[in-house]
Amino acid sequence: MKKINPVKRITILIFIISSTCIACAQQNESLIKAESPTDIKYSTEIVVPDIPIAWGMAFLPDNSLLITEKSGDLIHYKNGLKTSIEEVPEIYVRGQGGFLDIKLHPDYESNGWIYMTYGSADGDGDGGNTTLMRAKLVENTLVDKEVLYKAVPNTKKGQHWGSRITFDNEGYLYFSVGDRGNRDVNPQDITRDGGKIYRLYDDGRIPEDNPFFDDENAKKAIYSYGHRNPQGLTTNPMTGEIWENEHGPRGGDEINIIKKGKNYGWPIISYGINYDGTTFTDLTEKEGMEQPLFYWVPSIAPCGMTFVSSDVYPDWKGDLLVGSLKFSYLERLVLENNKVVKREKLIENLGRIRNVIQGPDGYIYVAVEGKGIVKIIPNES
């Protein structure tokens, strides 16, 4: 056997270690640690108090606020008063499911349509599944209710309902449904609901250019698949792209840019492991499956997501805000060329962050479990 010079051996070893570390750093972007800001430049104010789990928020043109409460209430907050909206759909509440997201049509002032997702027991079988409805609001009552999509089958499992709603710049409607706890079947099967992002016209019709529209057996509303539990969905105001975040298991929460017909890998590839510490896959990448733009290890349990586009927060403009259920803070992700270059913890220890939106006034509003709706107010310099 040929002997290797000790100096050369050390050089080779250093090269291998350095290459491995570089590869790890490139692969595991979540090694960017979330830091608390050294200089707090904002204060917080509870603007809508005493809501147990405020899931969705939508501002009406008069700056009043519609809020979905997970247990089944739709709240209209105006001039300091909370009013429960009548004739809401019957909400199936189980586990992580209940009254979920709410979104106004981009042309709401002309057509009055409001979109909402929720757990519904309608249809065959016991249990429920995620449902998309639109309706109009007249004198604190929902009218003209239309179910646009109901995921099937019903199941008594309480996990992974999704669900968020967004519109793109062309007026298409996107919404998410989690894998409903059926990890090994739903996400990778385009003939089944669950673990998907869906795209519809605003009236519920399915666009003929959806990626699987011509597949006889596919769910034709599917736009992307291979998702676990997407609880963040928003449109990037700078690019028009659809951005999504989803819960991983123990580690492996993701941010993705959603592209037509793409497979985001769950559960074939993942940067997470089972909750009991065992592994369910040895793969973090595979041909034909998308890599996340960013992933968290350990999990932060992301919920809600919005871009900062207003001038109210000049230091945050263009950044992404994501709520953390697990660690009870709002995360600010600084982006450069679709790469996360910095993470920062905001409004720490206030409670589990369920949602975050930018209001029409340019301010950031955060739904905090057990507290209500919190407004972030920049301090005067």
Looking at the annotation, which residues are catalytic?
160
Q: What are phi and psi of 216, to 5 degrees?
A: -55, -35
Q: From CA 163, how far away is CA 117, in angstroms rounded? A: 7
Q: What DSSP string describes 46-115?
A: EEEE--S-EEEEEE-TTS-EEEEETTTEEEEEETTEEEEPBSPPPP--BTTBSEEEEEE-TTHHHH--EE
Query: In terms of Cα–Cα distance, which of 231, 286, 222, 279 is closest to 254?
Result: 231
Q: 3-state SS string over 226-244?
A: CCCCEEEEEECCCCCCEEE
Query: In terms of Cα–Cα distance, which of 221, 192, 216, 190 is closest to 204?
Result: 221
Number of CB atoms found within 10 A of residue 189's CB: 17
Q: From CA 184, how far away is CA 321, in angstroms rounded? A: 31
Where would I find the H helices in the chain?
6-27, 108-111
Q: Tell me the one-letter amino acid at 34.
A: A
Residue identified by tokens 């290797």 is 4
